[in-house]
Amino acid sequence: MSRCKAAVLVLSAGGLVVLLGGVGIAEEPLRYGFGRPPTDAEIGALNIDIDPTGAGLPPGRGTVQQGTAIYANKCATCHGPTGTEGPKDRLVGGHGLLATEHPVKTIGSFWPYATTLYDYIHRAMPLNAPQSLTPEEVYSVVAWLLHQNDIIPADAVIDAKTLPTVKMPNRAGFVSDPRPDVPFR
């Protein structure tokens, strides 16, 4: 074997040892010299989701009457005075129209859980100031919207105990995820 071929073989073998030799060793993650791990409090502040059972709902309460004024001041600009006019999504009505050629998907005709309404309003509304409403304001707007959709009576009080018990008209219109690796919700 020529010296050149022997040198290439030795270098190749040496490179392979270096490459494979480090496979079992855990390396330190890259550090960029800035930032820090978040605190538990910082993570908790971002954990604002509400599940269908109501887990995560905060203390507070709201009524249809309180929701009337809050909706008029914070929601009507985008959704109209009664929740049907727009220019943004229609929130009220649509009962019996899901199976038609032009379905109308509203809170009352489509949404399966009332708790989802709280979750969405709290996270994303109003559009120009998301997460600015207090829990009482969110509960009140939710009460008003559920009443406008003929789901709760005008004297209903909505809070962390009553909201998960609200039966939405289209609750049976959804099917559970059949995958075995997905927990039942």
Domain with 144, as residue range(s), is 58-173
> Total structural domains in the chain?
1
Residue 21 within any structural domain of the chain: no
Is residue 4 situated within a structural domain? no
Residue 156 lies in a domain: yes
* Band (18; pLDDT cuts 50, 70, 90): low
Helix or strand run (H / E) with residue 19: helix 3-21
Placement of tokens 């949404």 in the chain: 111
117 within domain boundaries: yes
Q: Please answer whether residues 133 and 144 qualify as being in contact, where contact means their C-beta atoms are separated by less than 8 angstroms.
A: no
What CATH number does residue 136 fall under?
Answer: 1.10.760.10
What pLDDT does residue 29 have?
73
CA angle 39, 40, 41 (to 5 degrees): 90
Q: Is residue 123 part of a domain?
A: yes
Residue of 174, 154, 185 whose CA lies nearest to 65: 154
What does the pLDDT look like over 35-94, one tens digit per residue? 999 999 999 888 889 999 999 999 999 999 999 999 999 999 999 999 999 899 999 999
- In the numeric block, the tokens 């930032």 are attached to 35
Which residues, in sequence order, are CB contacts of 94 under 8 Å at separation 6+? 103, 104, 105, 106, 108, 109, 110
Question: Is the pTM value of this prediction over 0.85?
Answer: no
Q: Which residues contact 132 (CB under 8 A, 6 or more apart)?
A: 126
The string over 140-176, giving b where at least 16 C-beta atoms fall within 10 Å of a residue's C-beta and e elsewhere, is bbbbbbbbbbebbeeeebbbbebbbebebbbeeeeee
Assigned domain for 107 exists: yes
